[in-house]
Structures are given as structure tokens and as C-alpha cells.
């Protein structure tokens, strides 16, 4: 058994080493794959806060992924067409600046998560799953039928957005930006996990009567966790759209929600680095098995089944055993 | 006579045709242990759930230090100073013993919505948690998983978490259950001293413990309080003998 912290470090190094090696070997496609893995990892780390730490099985995180994507799409579209987003009561222009886009994506998806959370957290279990799914689908069909931003066809952004004078079209530069954000998000979530809030949230997941008996309402804890969770997944959505330079309603589809959940389960529910392992594994399998057969999801399914049945801690749990205790 | 810290005024609760609580008026005064006894199904746990806020009474009021807390939920009542232990241990089972105690200390301090500072490095919280664990005799088990504790140790941990809350009243639902002879003796000794900190409303089946500890005893039968009084008064009460003590009249 390897200590979980050692494993986490190894995972981060591997995720950095692969694109660097690809850079030396002049394989830009591998760099793009690694970037995808990093972005999916961010989305998964976001979902894990709700799913792993709060026990909230959300099948609607595509909503936040999509909102992040469209935040990028709409801002960049107006910037590239030189049209304002709105003129009344005040003028809002589009932008190609990544930090502004990220901030917009995070704020927009946090607001959406707060609203969806207030409504759906009144329910539990299967009803919660269904309601979050319904909200995701609602946004999916809304974007399909909203012609202003491409409707079903989505929106193409011709040039990747800019960041502080860097050449973001260079794959390794964009990878580095995403990797930096992943580190920031991991740091944030690992702090939250060990904070007073994290302790209370975990207790609410394990035993609602207990957390009430110490004077806290589970609903409030869940709502805050769900909101932060949605915001992080929204950031991933903005990056994903920037990677592809394209947004479409697919980002809102329930399959997207399912995939984000797969990253979490594959890597280890409730482990801070679980989704990183899960997303990396997912991309690896997609690339390797996808080369063998169009129906590679069958193998992915078998692996997922194995993890769920025999390794409840996911890949991280499989290698590093049970979580370490409180210090 | 001091003002009661906790009072129920005419609490009633029906589940369909079943009368679980019938016009129950009780009070809990400073420095006392008030035991609630009665046969199985008399409505003791239902009453304590209504006091703690987990069940809403059909009628009547619950007063804490003269304030009507009837409309409040469980969490709000806990913040007002109700420290509850559960009949069936209700702890965060995946957490360590220390983490459960920290949770109580955190609840007492009331600043749960802090996202950055690790709990384990908060000296003030740790001290509160460790003190409470030491008082119930769980000092050397800080890093044990709660799920691995024995039944009796879980009862002790329940009490420790309630201690960290520094409540105005303790509501204890069968804290001795499953403790064994030695454990019960220790717990009796502990509760005996605890009443000086905050009064205890105690549900307990162990009659020796009840008669050893209680300043006053209320007897609940079919959802109704048929008698309230000192241990001697309860022992001598013919209705109680008939309804409850019956074959155990020897005590």
C-alpha cells in the first residue's frame, strides 16, 4: 500500500510528465488529450464536493458544465463579432480575456447551482437524482431551441481566448493554464475537506440526526457544498469550450453528467484526488480502447462495474487503502 | 423555588388512534435529574423527540429558559442549548472518536461556515473535544473509528459530544443501555456530578440507576404522566405500583 499523499503527488507528476514527453516527441494530439483529462478532472473535483463529501448524487452537473461553456461561448462570440451582449440599461461587451470568462463562468454556474440546489435539496435519494437530471435536461433543450447562439449547431469560436499575453493556441501553453487551475482547485477542495465546514458536511452525509443535534441544518450545509461544487464544474466547462473552441448543447446532455460522475466513481468517491485519477483513466481508456473498437464503452462499463463491486474507494482506494484518520 | 429551565406545557401527540402524548406537563429545574420512566411503548422517546424538535407536537408548548421554542427545528433548539443523546447511538460512524467530539465543539462555537483553517489545527476546538472525551473516559481512543467502538463506548461518546455542546439542559435517552454493570456504575457516578452543570431529563430503564440518581421521577403510562415526585413518593404511589412497578414492587 502506498500512502495516499504519495499517490496524489505521483498522479500530478504523471499528468505533467505525459504532455511534456509528448512535447519532446512532437505529439500535439497527446497534449490535447492530457488537457482534456485535466479539464475533466476539474469538473470531477467539483462534483466530488457534492457527491463524495456531501453524499449528494447529482445527475445534473452537466448544467454547470454547460453554463460554464456557454459563458465562454457567449462572451467570445460577441467579442469576435464586435457586437455588444446587451445595450440597455447599460452596455456589456463580449471579451476574449480568459480571467474575465472564468470569473463569469464561475459566478453564473454558482448562481445556477444555488437556485437548482434550493429547489432540489428539498428532496433526497432517487428524487434528488431525478430533479437534478430534470434541471440538466431543461437547460439542454433550452439551448437547443435558443437560436441566438447557434441552437442545436452550437457556436464556433475561431481563436482561443487570451491570457496575459501568452500564446494560448500553443497546446502546451493551454495545458499549463489548465493544469495550474487544476492545482488551485485541488488546493481549495483539500482545504475545504479539512475545514470546519468539511467536517460538518461529512457528518451530515453520514448522519443527519447527528449534525442537527449539534445545531446545524443539513440543508444549509448541502446547499453551500452544492453551490461551490457547481461553480468548480462551471469553470471546467469554460475551459472545455476553450479547448475545443466550440460550444454546443451536448455539454448540457445527461451523458455529460454521467461521464463526470464516472470520473468520480472510477477514481474514488470522497477522495480529493479521486477525480484526477478517474479522469486520467477515462481518457486513457477512451484513447486505447477507442482505438480497438468503436464500442469501447463496453470495456469501460466492465471496469466501472469491477470498481463499484470490488474497490469502493475507486482507483485511489485500490492503491492506497483506507483513508487516513483525522490529522 | 427556582424557575424551571425546561418546561413542557400540555404536550399532546397522536399517531392516528394511538395516543402517544396526552397533555404532558413537566418541568426540569436547575441542578436536578428528572427521570422519565414507564413501560415500553408508554411514549417516553416520543416525548423526548418532541422536546428535542424531531417531532412536532399536535398541541402544547415547549419552553426553554422561559422562551417558547415550539416553532423551532432540531438544529435551532440544539443551538439554544439542548444537548441530546440518542436511544440508538447516532454518531458519524466513519469519523474518528475525536472528530465526533470536534463536531460538537464546533457546533457549540457556531462557526461552521469556515472553509480554510483545518479543524485539527484549531487548538481551542481540540481542547474542548479532548476535555469532553477525557471526562467520559475515552482519552486513549481519539483515533479509533467510531464504527469500531463497542456499544458501550458509543454511549460514552454520545455523552461526550453532548458535553462539548455545553448545553443548558441534557436530554438523555437511555444512556446506560448496554453499558454493563461496571459501565453503568461509572455512568451513574458521572451523571451524578453532571447535574450541577446542567439539569438532566433522563429516560432510563435501569431502575437501580433511576432511583440512585433522580431528584424527581415522572411516570408515563399510555402517553400520560400518572405521577411526578421524589423516589420515595413514586415508590409509595399506589397508581404507579399498579400500572408500572407491579411485579417489581420489591424495589
CA–CA min distance A311, chain B (Å)? 17
Q: How many Å apart are CA A245 and CA A154, to the nearest integer?
A: 11
Instruction: Give which of B45, B75, B145 to mutate to test A binding, by max A Cβ within 10 Å.
Output: B75
pLDDT band at A251 (very low <50, low <70, confident <90, very high): very high
Q: Which among B73, B118, B165 has CB closest to A195? A: B118
Q: What would the pLDDT profile of A195-245 be if each residue is shown by its tens digit? A: 999 999 999 999 999 999 999 999 999 999 999 999 999 999 999 999 999
Average pLDDT, chain A: 93
Q: Is the per-residue pLDDT at A327 higher than 70?
A: no
Mean pLDDT, rounded, for A284-297: 88
Is the Cβ pair B114, A211 closer than 8 Å?
no
Mean pLDDT, rounded, for B197-204: 95
Q: Which among B54, B111, B145 has CB closest to A196? A: B111
Is the Cβ pair B107, A197 closer than 8 Å?
no
CA–CA min distance B248, chain A (Å)? 35
Is the Cβ pair B78, A213 closer than 8 Å?
yes
**Nearest residue in B to A191, CA atom:** B116
Instruction: Give which of A198, A204, A215 to mutate to test B binding, by max B Cβ within 10 Å.
Output: A215
User: Buried b vs exposed e over A103-126: b needs ≥16 C-beta within 10 Å?
Assistant: ebbbebbbebbeebbeebbeeeee
Q: Is the per-residue pLDDT at B251 higher than 50?
A: no
Q: How far is C-alpha A166 from the geometric centre of its chain's CA atoms?
A: 24
Q: How many Å apart are CA B47 and CA B220, to the nearest integer?
A: 10
Q: What is the pLDDT of residue A73?
A: 96
Neighbour count for residue A94 (Cβ, 10 Å): 18
Share of chain A above pLDDT 90, in %: 81
pLDDT band at B194 (very low <50, low <70, confident <90, very high): very high
- Chain A with chain B: Cβ pairs closer than 8 A: 112
Mean pLDDT, rounded, for B136-157: 92
Is the Cβ pair B102, A199 closer than 8 Å?
yes
CA–CA min distance A314, chain B (Å)? 17
Q: What is the pLDDT of residue B244?
A: 67
- Which of A76-80, A85-89, B219-223 is the least confident region? A85-89
Q: Which residue, among A319, A181, A165, A154, has the nearest Cα to A245 in the 3D structure?
A: A154
Q: Which among A200, A209, A327 has CB closest to B112? A: A200
List CB contacts (< 8 A) between A227 and chain B.
Answer: none
Instruction: Give which of B91, B92, B104 to mutate to test A binding, by max A Cβ within 10 Å.
Output: B92
Q: What is the pLDDT of residue B206?
A: 87
Q: Which residue, among B130, B143, A193, has the nearest Cα to A203 in the 3D structure?
A: A193
Instruction: Give which of A49, A195, A196, A200 to mutate to test B binding, by max B Cβ within 10 Å.
Output: A196
Q: Is the per-residue pLDDT at B239 higher than 90?
A: no
Q: What would the pLDDT profile of B49-101 be if each residue is shown by its tens digit? A: 999 999 999 999 999 999 999 999 999 999 999 999 998 889 999 999 999 99
Q: DSSP letters of B17-69?
A: TEEEEEEEEEEEETT-EEEEE-STTSSHHHHHHHHHTSS--SEEEEEETTEE-
Q: Which among B54, B74, B115 has CB closest to A195? A: B115
Residue A49's alpha-carbon distances to A18, A114, A233, in angstroms, are 27, 14, 10
- Tell whether B117 is within 8 A of chain A (Cβ): yes
- Beta strands A246-247 and A92-93 are unpaired
List CB contacts (< 8 A) between B91 and chain A.
Answer: 207, 210
CA–CA min distance A72, chain B (Å)? 28
Q: Which among B52, B100, B115 has CB closest to A192? A: B115
Domain boundaries, chain B: 1-81+167-251, 92-165
Mean pLDDT, rounded, for A276-290: 93
Q: What is the pLDDT of residue A175?
A: 97
pLDDT band at B245 (very low <50, low <70, confident <90, very high): low
Q: Phi/psi of residue A223, each to 5°?
A: -65, -45
Is the Cβ pair A217, B79 closer than 8 Å?
no
Q: Is the per-residue pLDDT at A53 higher than 70?
A: yes
Is the Cβ pair A213, B86 closer than 8 Å?
yes
Q: What cell does B200 get?
A: 438532566
Q: Is the per-residue pLDDT at A308 higher than 50?
A: yes
- Tell whether B78 is within 8 A of chain A (Cβ): yes
Instruction: Give which of A192, A204, A207, A213 to mutate to test B binding, by max B Cβ within 10 Å.
Output: A213
Cis peptide before B239 (omega within 30 of 0): no
Q: What is the pLDDT of residue A213?
A: 95
Q: Which among A202, A210, A215 has CB closest to B91? A: A210
pLDDT band at B183 (very low <50, low <70, confident <90, very high): confident
- Tell whether B74 is within 8 A of chain A (Cβ): yes
Q: What would the pLDDT profile of A133-183 be if each residue is shown by its tens digit? A: 999 999 999 999 998 898 999 999 999 999 988 999 999 999 999 999 999
- Tell whether B54 is within 8 A of chain A (Cβ): yes
Task: Tell me which residues of chain A have a C-beta less than 8 Å from any C-beta of chain B.
Answer: 191-192, 194-200, 202-203, 206-207, 209-217, 221, 224, 325-327
pLDDT band at A88 (very low <50, low <70, confident <90, very high): confident
List CB contacts (< 8 A) between B84 and chain A.
Answer: 213
**Nearest residue in B to A327, CA atom:** B120
The answer for residues whose C-beta is within 8 angstroms of residue B95's C-beta and 6 or more apart is A199, A202, A203, A206, A326, B103, B145, B146
Q: How many Å apart are CA A242 and CA A297, to the nearest integer?
A: 26
pLDDT band at A3 (very low <50, low <70, confident <90, very high): confident
Q: What cell does B106 get?
A: 464546533
Is the Cβ pair B75, A203 closer than 8 Å?
no
- Range B1-81+167-251: architecture per CATH: 3-Layer(aba) Sandwich (3.40)
Q: Is the per-residue pLDDT at A325 higher than 60?
A: no
Q: Is the per-residue pLDDT at B242 higher than 90?
A: no
- Sign of the CA dihedral with A310 first, then A316, A318, and A322 last: negative
Task: Tell me which long-range contacts A258-261 makes (C-beta under 8 A, separation of at least 24).
Answer: A258/A59, A259/A40, A260/A40, A260/A43, A260/A44, A260/A47, A260/A61, A260/A62, A260/A65, A260/A233, A261/A47, A261/A51, A261/A57, A261/A59, A261/A61
List CB contacts (< 8 A) between B112 and chain A.
Answer: 196-197, 200, 216, 221
Amino acid at each position: 500500500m502506498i500512502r495516499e499523499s504519495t499517490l496524489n503527488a505521483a498522479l500530478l507528476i504523471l499528468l505533467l510528465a505525459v504532455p511534456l514527453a509528448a512535447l519532446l516527441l512532437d505529439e500535439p494530439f497527446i497534449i490535447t488529450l492530457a488537457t482534456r483529462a485535466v479539464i475533466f478532472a476539474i469538473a470531477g473535483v467539483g462534483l466530488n464536493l457534492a457527491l463524495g463529501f456531501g453524499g449528494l448524487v447529482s445527475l445534473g452537473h452537466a448544467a454547470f458544465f454547460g453554463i460554464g461553456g456557454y459563458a465562454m461561448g457567449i462572451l467570445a462570440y460577441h467579442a469576435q463579432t464586435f457586437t455588444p451582449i446587451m445595450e440597455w440599461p447599460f452596455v456589456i461587451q463580449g471579451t476574449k480575456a480568459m480571467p474575465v470568462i472564468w470569473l463569469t463562468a464561475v459566478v453564473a454556474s454558482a448562481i445556477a447551482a444555488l437556485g437548482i440546489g434550493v429547489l432540489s435539496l428539498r428532496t433526497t435519494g432517487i428524487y434528488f437524482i431525478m430533479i437534478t437530471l430534470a434541471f440538466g435536461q431543461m437547460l439542454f433543450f433550452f439551448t437547443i431551441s435558443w437560436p441566438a447562439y447557434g441552437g442545436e449547431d452550437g457556436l464556433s469560436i475561431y481563436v482561443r481566448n487570451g491570457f496575459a499575453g501568452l500564446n494560448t493556441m500553443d497546446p502546451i501553453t493551454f495545458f499549463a493554464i489548465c493544469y495550474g487551475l487544476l492545482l488551485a482547485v485541488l488546493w481549495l477542495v483539500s482545504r475545504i475537506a479539512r475545514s470546519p465546514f468539511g467536517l460538518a458536511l461529512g457528518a451530515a452525509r453520514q448522519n443527519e440526526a447527528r449534525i442537527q443535534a449539534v445545531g446545524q441544518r443539513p440543508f444549509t450545509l448541502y446547499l453551500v457544498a452544492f453551490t461551490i461544487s457547481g461553480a468548480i464544474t462551471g469553470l471546467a466547462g469554460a475551459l472545455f469550450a476553450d479547448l475545443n473552441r466550440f460550444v454546443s448543447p451536448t455539454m448540457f446532455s445527461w451523458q455529460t453528467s454521467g461521464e463526470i460522475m464516472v470520473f468520480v466513481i472510477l477514481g474514488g468517491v470522497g477522495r480529493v484526488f479521486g477525480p484526477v485519477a478517474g479522469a486520467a483513466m477515462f481518457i486513457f481508456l477512451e484513447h486505447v480502447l477507442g482505438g480497438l473498437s468503436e464500442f469501447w464503452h463496453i470495456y469501460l462499463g466492465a471496469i466501472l462495474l469491477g470498481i463499484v463491486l470490488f474497490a469502493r474507494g475507486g482507483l485511489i482506494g485500490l492503491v492506497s487503502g483506507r483513508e487516513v484518520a483525522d490529522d | 423555588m427556582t424557575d424551571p429551565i425546561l418546561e413542557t406545557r400540555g404536550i399532546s401527540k397522536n399517531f392516528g388512534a394511538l395516543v402517544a402524548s396526552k397533555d404532558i406537563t413537566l418541568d426540569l429545574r436547575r441542578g436536578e435529574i428528572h427521570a422519565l420512566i414507564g413501560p415500553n411503548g408508554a411514549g417516553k422517546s416520543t416525548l423526548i423527540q418532541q422536546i428535542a424538535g424531531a417531532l412536532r407536537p399536535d398541541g402544547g408548548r415547549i419552553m426553554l429558559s422561559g422562551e417558547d421554542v415550539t416553532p423551532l427545528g432540531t438544529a435551532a433548539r440544539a443551538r439554544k442549548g439542548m444537548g441530546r443523546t440518542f436511544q440508538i447511538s447516532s454518531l458519524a460512524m466513519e469519523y474518528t472518536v475525536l472528530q465526533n467530539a470536534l463536531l460538537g465543539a464546533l457546533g457549540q462555537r457556531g462557526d461552521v461556515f469556515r472553509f480554510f483553517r483545518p479543524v485539527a489545527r484549531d487548538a481551542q476546538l481540540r481542547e474542548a473535544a479532548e476535555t469532553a472525551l477525557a471526562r467520559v473516559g475515552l482519552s486513549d481512543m481519539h483515533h479509533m473509528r467510531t464504527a469500531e467502538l463497542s456499544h458501550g463506548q458509543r454511549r460514552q461518546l454520545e455523552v461526550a459530544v453532548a458535553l462539548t455542546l455545553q448545553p443548558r439542559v441534557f436530554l438523555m435517552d437511555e444512556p446506560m443501555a448496554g453499558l454493563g454493570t461496571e459501565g453503568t456504575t461509572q455512568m451513574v457516578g458521572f451523571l451524578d456530578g453532571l447535574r450541577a452543570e446542567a439539569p438532566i431529563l433522563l429516560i432510563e430503564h435501569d431502575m437501580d440507576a433511576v432511583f440512585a440518581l433522580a431528584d424527581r421521577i415522572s411516570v408515563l403510562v399510555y402517553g400520560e404522566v400518572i405521577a411526578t415526585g421524589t423516589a420515595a413518593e413514586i415508590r409509595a404511589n399506589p397508581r404507579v405500583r399498579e400500572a408500572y412497578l407491579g411485579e417489581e414492587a420489591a424495589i
